[in-house]
Amino acid sequence: MNMIINIFAAPGEVFASLKEKPRFLIAWLLIALFGGLTQYFYFSGVDVGWYFEEQLLANPNTTQDQAEQVVRFMTSIPQGGLAIGIAIFAVIATLVVFLIQALYFKIASLITKDGLRYKHMLALVSWSSMPVLLTSLASIVKLLTSDVSLMPQTDINPLSFWGLLGLEPLGTGALDSIVMNTDPLAIWSLILLIFGYKVMSGKDWGTAAIVALIPTAVTYSLAFLF
C-alpha cells in the first residue's frame, strides 16, 4: 500500500526500493484487472451489432455482406459471455505487453551494462504504469454513469486530450487512434518510466530518456508511415 501511494507522491523512493528488491506482481495485476473491467463494462452495455458493424465498415476492404455475417455471429453470442471473453483477453494482452516491454529494457540493459535483471525491468514497467490505473478508474465511472449503447470505444476515456478539449476524431487510422487515446496520465507514466530507469540504472537523464522513449517513437513512426 505504501508503494501504491508513493509511486504518486515519492516515486524516487519506490524505484530505489525496486532496485534493491524488484517486485511487480501487485502493480501488474492491478493495471491488468482494471483494464479488463473497463472492457467488461463497455461490452456489457454497448449495442454489439452496432459496434462491430461500425468497426468492420471502417475498413474499406470489408464488404457489406462480410460485415453482416460477422455481426450476425457476434450478436448470436450472449452479451455477458462476450464481455467476459473480451475482458479476459484485455487482461492477458496487458500482461503480454508488460513482458515485451520488460524484454526491451532487458536488451537495453545488456547493451548499457547496467547490471539490472529481467525482474527489475518488469518492476520498472509495471510500477511506472500505475497512473494508467487512474485512467481505468475514470473510464469505469464514465461507463457506469453514461449510456454506453452507441458510445464509440474512443470515447471511453474521459481524460483523453480529445475528450478534454471537446474535439472530434480526424479519422480512423492508427495514428489518430493513438493520439485520441493519449491523456495526461499516459504522459505521466512515460515520465515515470524515464525517471525510474534513471534511478534503477544509474544512467544520466539523457541516456534514460533515449532508452525509455525509443519504443514510443517507433510506435508513432510506424503508425504515421502505415
Task: Provide the pLDDT confidence category of residue 71 given band limits of 50, 70 and 90.
Answer: confident
Q: Would the pLDDT of 175 be above 70?
A: no
User: pLDDT tens digits, residue range 78-100?
Assistant: 999 999 999 999 999 999 999 99
User: pLDDT tens digits, residue range 38-63?
Assistant: 999 999 999 988 888 887 877 777 77
User: pLDDT tens digits, residue range 103-135?
Assistant: 999 998 888 888 889 999 999 999 999 999 999
Cα–Cα distance, 168 to 150 (Å, whole number): 16
pLDDT at 173: 58
Type of residue at 105: F
Packing angle, helices 79-112 and 118-128, rounded to 10: 130
Cα–Cα distance, 221 to 226 (Å, whole number): 9
pLDDT at 198: 93
pLDDT at 179: 65
Q: What's the grid cell of residue 14?
A: 519506490
Closest CA to 151 of 163, 161, 133, 136: 163
Closest CA to 105 of 131, 123, 129: 123
Q: Would the pLDDT of 166 be above 80?
A: no
Count Cβ atoms below 10 Å from residue 42 Cβ, excluding itself: 23
pLDDT at 107: 92
pLDDT at 102: 92
pLDDT at 93: 92
pLDDT at 15: 94
Is 50 exposed, middle or buried, given 0-12, 13-18 or 19+ CB atoms closer than 10 A?
middle
User: pLDDT tens digits, residue range 144-155?
Assistant: 999 999 888 878
Check if the beta carbon of residue 121 is closer than 8 Å to that of residue 106: yes
pTM for the full predicted model: 0.84
Cα–Cα distance, 150 to 84 (Å, whole number): 19
Cα–Cα distance, 84 to 193 (Å, whole number): 31
- Average pLDDT of the residues in 189-214: 91
pLDDT at 143: 94
pLDDT at 72: 87
R_g (Cα) of the chain, nearest Å: 19
Q: Would the pLDDT of 222 be above 80?
A: no
Percent of the chain with pLDDT over 90: 48
User: pLDDT tens digits, residue range 177-201?
Assistant: 666 667 888 889 999 999 999 999 9
